[in-house]
Structure 1
């Protein structure tokens, strides 16, 4: 498969990522609890630790390979939930 880079906006949860073969990858963004977008090292990853286990909106450049989706983050911000409730009985 030839790899091609294309811009995308993704919404997902920042999670830790580890690969036994390559320890340079530390983060991924999990989209819809299905697809992992692996964050390339050094691609604006400075704030990812503060977003760990939080939902984010990220403008990225995606490269799809046989090994998965790899992303370079261009911009990232927390995805604020629109949910508001007064107490447990009032959702």
Structure 2
């Protein structure tokens, strides 16, 4: 088994943890962390594809995924913050 195959298998196993946390996470914060993990794994798959194919187009895709993950994390954190403010306002 080659090094690339081992890396791909380990990334696949790691993605199962991210999917579990995204679906079953008891809080919204856990779901954000699961989503961030999946974005990081997708970036690593793109880097692995760039390494194997020796084409830089996959690096552009990785940058796009990173930017999308960053914006998604900001949106989720804003939603969590607004929800916490709404709950604090309702209880007082």
TM norm. shorter chain > 0.5:
no
- TM-score range (shorter-chain normalised) is under 0.3
Tell me which protein shows more strand as a share of its residues: 1
**TM-score (norm: length of structure 2):** 0.25
Which structure has more RCO (C-alpha within 8 Å, separation ≥ 6)?
Answer: 1
Tell me which protein shows more helix as a share of its residues: 2
Kindly name which structure, 1 or 2, has the bigger radius of gyration based on alpha carbons.
Answer: 2
**TM-score (norm: length of structure 1):** 0.25
